[in-house]
Amino acid sequence: MVVCALAGGLLAAKGTSFVSNTLLHENPQGGSSVSSNQGHAKSLQTGFSDLLQRPFGVGVGSTGSASLYGQQPIIIENQYLFIGHEIGWMGVILFTLIFILILVRAWHGRYDWLALSVFASGVGLAIIGLLLPVWVDDTVSVIWWGLAAIALASLKTKATL
């Protein structure tokens, strides 16, 4: 119900300058000949077509900021397509399975505040990963995976006591 209300409010306010400039990044006075939204769509198309054409990936560092040092930089703004582009279908499957396993174990230990925090933030990062390559940020990766390890290890320790 809340999602429907938010979607309805966004649709009703679509023509306002706040929504147009802040949320949709469509400023007609911006001066850019190409909308950033077109770049987002093109990055998704590139990522998806490369994933279909190269099931084993192109190699680590072939996407994102590391690729800017090569001849053909590729920016893919979806974490899952990003992983698929670099290490292929198997990489996406392994990453997803490990991530889901951690979320399931954190959910089972939701009585512990750290495990619940890891679960909630993991769900948020999974959603953000649809729009951005969230795990390429070292700070996010080290902190979240580290906290997940601490939370799951402490759950296991509590279970054996």
Residues 8-40 have pLDDT tens digits of 776 776 667 666 666 565 665 655 555 556 666
Domain-wise residue ranges, the chain = 1-33, 41-160
The pLDDT, as a whole number, for residue 45 is 81
- Phi then psi for 102, rounded to 5 degrees? -65, -45
Q: What is the full DSSP assignment across 14-82?
A: TTSHHIIIIIS---TTS--SS-HHHHHHHHHHHHHHHHHH-TT-S-TTSSGGGGGGSSS------HHHH
Which of 6-15, 18-27, 83-92, 149-158 is least confident? 18-27
Asked if pLDDT for residue 99 goes beyond 80, the answer is yes
Q: Record the tokens describing residue 160, joined without a space.
A: 């054996």
* The model scores a pTM over 0.75: no
Handedness of CA 98, 100, 103, 109 (dihedral sign): negative
Using a 10 angstrom Cβ sphere, with 0-12 exposed, 13-18 middle and 19 or more buried, the burial of residue 122 is buried
The pLDDT, as a whole number, for residue 42 is 78
